[in-house]
Homo-oligomer: A and B are copies of this chain.
Amino acid sequence: MVRNLREHSRLGDEDIEQIKRLSFVVRPYQPNEDVIRQGDTPTAAALVLSGMVGRYHLLRDGRRQYLSFHITGDMPDAQGLFIEQMDHTVCALGHAVIAFIPHAELVRAFKARPALGFAIWRETLIDAAIFREAITNNSARPVLTRMAHLFCELFYRARVSGLTEHNRLELPLNLVQLGEGLGMSIATVNRTLQQLRISGSVEFRDGVLTVKNWAKLERLGEFEPQYLHLKKASLL
């Protein structure tokens, strides 16, 4: 958590101390298991310790729309701190381990150390920037570009957090979930994956993303990482 906040915010020793004093509960999750559901009122904030989680809206007809994907170090429901009712569901994608920090303790820490609150506030703002990019991605880009862009974003974020091995990233998603995130049918997901593979830029198979040619992938996805607001600018 500390490492992650430092990716984008300056924190003093006392802020770090304050973080270390926070209590928490840890719990593992099965693939596809919900962590918090739409309509719930959480009293603790989740922090991903390992694995991945996703957030999704449930549609009238039972379909899902995935809104974002989160990796180790992310707080996928920080908004629960100041918004009573969840308007979406958070669920584990593969196996995941989550820590829960009581809201009351966090709020107390923010009052003692405003800078800590500002850092987490900033994290929720970056979250919003990622949502904005998803609006643009899903609304205005053709399917190939759209998928390439998502892969760029996921790989880039994982890279910054040190979660990639060389050019590989574990991505516990299936075609259905990819489609539910990108707003395309499973058939199109499959065919688009093939196009990407043929292009030699990236390959996604069996839950592993392998970047063959980052420059090409970035170009295909029209990816410009400024919106992620991370310090390490262009590291690839």
Contacts and interface: CB of A to CB of B under 8 A. Distances in A.
Given A87-B226, A87-B229, A222-B60, A79 B136 contact: no
Contact of A126 (B55, B83, B183): B83
Contacts of A85: 226, 229
Interface string A96-140: 000000000001001100100110011011111101111110111
A178 to B, nearest CB: 13
Interface in A150-165: none
A136 to B, nearest CB: 4
Max count, chain B CB within 10 A of own CB: residue among A82, A117, A134: A82
A57 interface: yes
Contacts of A135: 65, 67, 131, 134-135, 138
The 8 A-B pairs at the shortest CB distance, nearest first, are namely: A139-B183, A131-B131, A128-B128, A87-B227, A82-B122, A138-B139, A65-B136, A79-B125
19 contacts: A65-B139, A82-B118, A82-B122, A83-B122, A83-B125, A85-B229, A87-B129, A87-B132, A111-B114, A114-B114, A121-B121, A121-B124, A124-B125, A127-B128, A131-B131, A131-B132, A134-B135, A135-B138, A138-B139
Given A57-B132, A87-B226, 4 more contacts: A65-B135, A107-B118, A111-B114, A121-B124
